[in-house]
Amino acid sequence: MSTYTQFVDGSQASFGGDEFIFVEVATDMDLEATLRVIALTDAVSSSEISGVTDICPAHVSYMVRVDPDIRDPREVLPILEEIHKRKAQESKLVIESRIIEMPILYQDPWSHDVLMRFRDRHQDPNASDLEYCARINGFASVDEFIGAHSSRLHIATFVAFMPGNAECYQLVPKDQQLEAPKYVRPRTDTPDRALGFGGAFSTIYPVQGAGGFQLLGRCAVPVYEAQQSFGPFEANAVLPKGGDIFQYRPIDMGEYEDIRQQVEAGTYKYRIGVLEFDLSKFREDPIGYPQTLAEVLP
Amino acid sequence: MITVVQPGLYTTVQDRGRFGFYGVGFPPSGSMDQYSSAVANILVGNNPDAAVLETTFLGPTLEFEQDANISVTGASADLTLDGISIPLWTSVSVKKGQVLAFGAAIAGVRNYLAFTGGINVKPMMGSRSTYVASHLGGYDGRVLKPGDRLEIFQDSKPKEVRICCEIPEDLRITPRAHQEIRIVSGLCHYLLDPQSQELLISKPFTISTEANRTGYRLKGDQLSFVERRQPFGAGSDPSNVVNLGYPVGSLQAPSGSELICLMRDAVTGGGYATLATVISVDLDILSQMKFPETVSFESVTLETALRLRSERAQRLRNITELVNSIA
């Protein structure tokens, strides 16, 4: 058996030791490939293949974890191949999704304190992360950059790294895609719930810890709750799922403190709407279509 | 109840690990040396899912407020009960009021301490394993501290366990300062240039001081990657890929300058090319290694990896029969 197996749709599969199968659908970041990965892994999931313990979609690839004590992983590979064959004939790229509002205090004091402690690890030690991001993306002011970041939606294309973390790609025409490098050397500290931005991806840090994304602000509500004590966490300790769409709504300090109190009391209600995301509609109208999605928020 | 007098260097509650949540960022966690952990459970009559304590370099000092049957496996270390030396790889009866104390590991890194009944902590997402980075599972989601009190499951009909049932030498682990570690090539192995593909399986690598439940960093010759147009969204370094999932045991080489083997508490994905995966039975062996010990990687087929895994399962069945036949 050779190391790599090529599927009819151009995907490449290989084994990650005796427990994992890795399937590379594409090598470049591309929203179409992401939606294909979601469609493929949904199909793997609904096939309920015995011995498969975990299905892990990424931006343009995915992994399946198999318990070899239950099922020989070599038997699972042809099943995946068959799913790829079936899905290659489907051209419609529509996924079940949710839209979730995340209240963000941009330029918050806590992230600012942390980022100032690590200026020696940053590309531009004399500017804040937001000033740097605004400048390299051609904005005259931080407020204009925040406007561009918050006025358009972001879709979770890779839920990974640690629980609650979701790398999100902004739903904008490609020429309007914001970009920023990660820190030259990663920080050893980041506040929990900090809003980070690196490459073309935004994420909310689930817990305090190391990190390399530019720090833009802080979210008032958690994306991970180990105790599973309230709201969406009662069913699942992590909030984001692959394909979820996020609206980052800028808030001021007064509202931030108000929401924090609701979260602490366990009374905060996440604003979540259920929808379908259709890639062809987004391509036809990358400005107007996401606005119709935002209207689904309750 | 069992009181933690001294917690040791890094002692956590672990079991076989957490399944089903890898896709949302939860690594499996669980005992690093699954074989030693399973043997510890078998020795005290537990099923293999029971929660045990995993120690690191130096285990805890524990005061028993109840009678208990215990076993300790894994690294070789001096183990005492009320100051009197007791053996590893055997079941031992402990009386209320007695104090169990670990010395530093002499060969190997991790010990597994099992109690008949297993440790009673709340399962989180189907597992009692501790995942410290996300404060999840185990004892309060963290390493043990002085004064912690461990509760042991009290079965209404405690299983008969033959005390002093000893595991034969050839069924114990034997830590060595150099080991062959077997890998399966795949993932993004095609991004390594041909010389580096050869180098990976021909030159030794030295385990660095950064070697823990998250990952083992290894020093060796510089690895290099094939020249290619970097994919959109991957980052500029040739070792960068568009972020992808990381299998447990996978090897990566950020900038080619050091090799990292991801262990059971690792991040579940990231942006470095994955090159090959250490087979699961050899993750047990690697878990018992430390700075400045060395490894050589040997490339094996998946068929070999699966055969070795079956042999490990057979050894555990043999041990179960042995323990049952004596009891």
In CATH, what number is assigned to the domain containing residue B217? Answer: 2.40.100.10
CB contact under 8 A, B186 and A224: no
Type of residue at A289:
Y
B320 near A19, Cβ under 8 Å? Answer: no
Task: Examine the domain organization and report whether B297 and B279 are in the same domain.
Answer: yes
* Inter-chain residue contact A18 with B305, CB threshold 8 Å: yes
**Chain B interface includes A237 (CB < 8 A):** yes
Q: According to the model, what pLDDT value does residue B158 have?
A: 56
Domain count, chain B: 2
The structure's pTM equals: 0.93
Number of cross-chain residue pairs from A and B with Cβ atoms under 8 Å apart = 178
Is residue B312 one of the residues assigned to a domain? no
Residue B262 inside a domain? The answer is yes
> Is residue B317 included in any domain, yes or no?
no
Q: Where in chain A is the domain with CATH 3.30.1360.40?
A: 5-91
How close B44 comes to chain A (CA, Å)?
23
pLDDT tens track for A281-292: 999 999 999 999
Q: Taking residues A162-191, what's their average pLDDT?
A: 90
pLDDT above 90: residue A209: no
Which chain A residues are closer than 8 Å to B250 by Cβ? 16-17, 20
Give B267's contacts in chain A (Cβ within 8 Å). 160-162
**Dist. CA A54–CA A62, nearest whole Å:** 11
Residue type, B94: V
Query: In this model, does residue B237 exceed pLDDT 90?
Result: no
Choice between B182 and B163, residue whose per-residue pLDDT is larger: B182
H/E element, B105: strand B99-115
Closest chain B residue by Cα to residue A224? B134
**Which of A49, A56, A192, A244 best probes binding to B when mutated, by most B CB atoms within 10 angstroms?**
A56
Question: Which pLDDT belongs to residue A226?
Answer: 85
**What is the predicted pLDDT for the residue at B159?**
61
Are B133 and A209 an interchain contact pair (Cβ–Cβ within 8 Å)? yes
Residues B208 and B169 in one domain: no
* Domain A5-91, architecture per CATH: 2-Layer Sandwich (3.30)
**Do residues B153 and B197 share a domain?**
no
- The pLDDT value recorded for residue B309 is 98
Distance from CA of B166 to the nearest CA of A (A): 27
Flag whether pLDDT at B282 surpasses 80.
yes
Nearest to B292 by CA among B197, B216, B223: B216
Q: Are residues B186 and B171 in the same domain?
A: no
Clarify whether residues B132 and B89 are in a common domain. Answer: yes
Whether residue B295 sits in one domain with residue B251: yes
Question: Would you call B20 and A54 a contact, using CB atoms and an 8 Å cutoff?
Answer: yes
pLDDT band at B255 (very low <50, low <70, confident <90, very high): confident
Tell me the CA distances in angstroms from A88 to A36, A40, A41, A81, A83, one per residue in order: 9, 10, 13, 10, 8
Place of tokens 């309230």: A230
Q: Are B157 and B192 in a shared domain?
A: no
The verdict on A16 touching B (C-beta cutoff 8 Å) is yes
Amino acid at B325: S
Q: What is the mean pLDDT of residues B197-208?
A: 97
Which residues 6+ apart lie within 8 Å of B291 measured at CB? B206, B207, B208, B209, B211
Could you give the angle at the alpha carbon of B105 between the alpha carbons of B102 and B219, nearest 5°? 150
Distance from A243 to chain B by nearest Cα, in Å?
A: 12
Mean confidence (pLDDT) of chain B = 94
Phi-psi region of B256 (alpha: psi -120 to 50; beta: other; left: phi over 0): left
Q: What is the percent of chain A with per-residue pLDDT over 70, rounded to a whole number?
A: 99
Per-residue pLDDT averaged across B242-254, rounded? 95
> How confident is the model at residue A93, as a pLDDT?
84
Q: Mean pLDDT check: name the lowest of A125-134, A222-231, B5-14, B134-143.
A: A222-231
Provide the pLDDT for residue B160.
63
Residue A224 contacts residue A195 (beta carbons within 8 Å): no
* Judgement on whether residues B22 and B134 belong to the same structural domain of the protein: yes
Tell me what pLDDT residue A90 has: 79
Mind listing the pLDDT tens digit for each residue in A234-268?
A: 888 899 999 999 999 999 999 999 999 999 999 99
For A81, the token pair is 């191949």
- Distance, CA of A117 to CA of A239 (rounded, Å): 30
Percent of chain B beyond pLDDT 70? 96
Q: Find the mean pLDDT for residues A186-192.
A: 90
Kindly identify which residue of chain B lies nearest to residue A55, measuring between CA atoms. B23
- Tell me the pLDDT band of B327, cut-offs 50, 70 and 90: low
Contact with chain A for residue B226, Cβ under 8 A: no
User: Which whole number is the average pLDDT over B97-126?
Assistant: 97
Residue of B nearest to A200 (CA): B233
Confidence of residue A1 (pLDDT cuts 50, 70, 90): low
> Do residues B15 and B164 share a domain?
yes
User: Helices H, strands E: what count in chain B?
Assistant: 4, 18
Do B132 and B50 share a domain, yes or no? Answer: yes
Dihedral pair phi/psi, residue A296, rounded to 5°: -75, -20
Average pLDDT of B260-270? 95
Tell me which fold the domain A96-294 belongs to: Cyclophilin (2.40.100)
pLDDT tens-place string over residues B135-168? 999 999 999 999 999 999 987 555 666 676 789 9
Contacting B residues, span 19-48, partner chain A, CB-CB under 8 Å: 19-26
pLDDT > 60? residue B91? yes
The backbone torsions φ and ψ at residue A38, rounded to the nearest 5 degrees and listed phi first, read: -65, -45
Q: What is the mean pLDDT of residues A107-122?
A: 96
Domain limits at B223?
178-307
Any A CB within 8 A of B190 CB: yes
Q: Considering only alpha carbons, which residue of chain A is nearest residue B265?
A: A162
**What single DSSP character describes residue B162?**
-
Distance from CA of B160 to the nearest CA of A (A): 28
Q: What are phi and psi of B245, to 5 degrees?
A: -75, 145
Verify whether the Cβ–Cβ distance B233 to A209 is below 8 Å: no
* A97 close to B (CB below 8 A): no
Residues in B touching A58 (Cβ below 8 Å): 242-245, 269
**Residue B193 and residue B169 share a domain:** no
Q: What is the ipTM of this complex?
A: 0.96
pLDDT at residue B157, rounded to an integer: 57
Asked if A28 lies within 8 A of B232 by C-beta distance, the reply is yes
Among A11, A15, A18, A123, which would you mutate to test the B interface (most chain B Cβ atoms within 10 Å of its Cβ)? Answer: A18
* pLDDT tens figures, B26-58: 999 999 999 999 999 999 999 988 999 999 999
What pLDDT shows up at residue A210? 83
Residue of A71, A68, A78 whose CA lies nearest to A23: A78
Q: Is A165 on the interface with B (CB under 8 A)?
A: yes
- Which of B243, B262, B263 should we substitute to test contact with A (largest number of A Cβ atoms within 10 Å)? B243
What is the reported pLDDT for B161?
65
Stronger pLDDT, A89 or B19, i.e. the higher one: B19
- Are residues A53 and B24, on separate chains, in Cβ contact within 8 Å? no
Q: What's the per-residue H, E or C state across chain A?
A: CCCCEECCCCCEEEEECCCEEEEECCCCCCHHHHHHHHHHHHHHHHCCCCCEEEEEECCCEEEEEECCCCCCHHHHHHHHHHHHHHHHCCCCCEEEEEEEEEEEEECCHHHHHHHHHCHHHCCCCCCCHHHHHHHHCCCCCHHHHHHHHHHCCEEEEEECCCCCCEEEEECCCHHHCCCECCCCCCECCCCCCEEEEEECEEEECCCCCCECCEEEEEECCCCECCCCCCHHHHCCCECCCCCCEEEEEECCHHHHHHHHHHHHHCCCCCCEEEEEEEHHHHHHCCCHHHHHHHCCCC
Do B24 and B135 belong together in one domain?
A: yes
Q: Are strands B294-299 and B259-262 parallel, antiparallel or unpaired?
A: unpaired
Location of each CATH 2.40.100.10 domain in chain A: 96-294
**Is A45 at the interface with chain B, CB within 8 A?**
no
Is A161 in contact with B269 (Cβ distance < 8 A)?
Answer: yes
With an 8 Å Cβ cutoff, are A17 and B268 in contact?
A: no
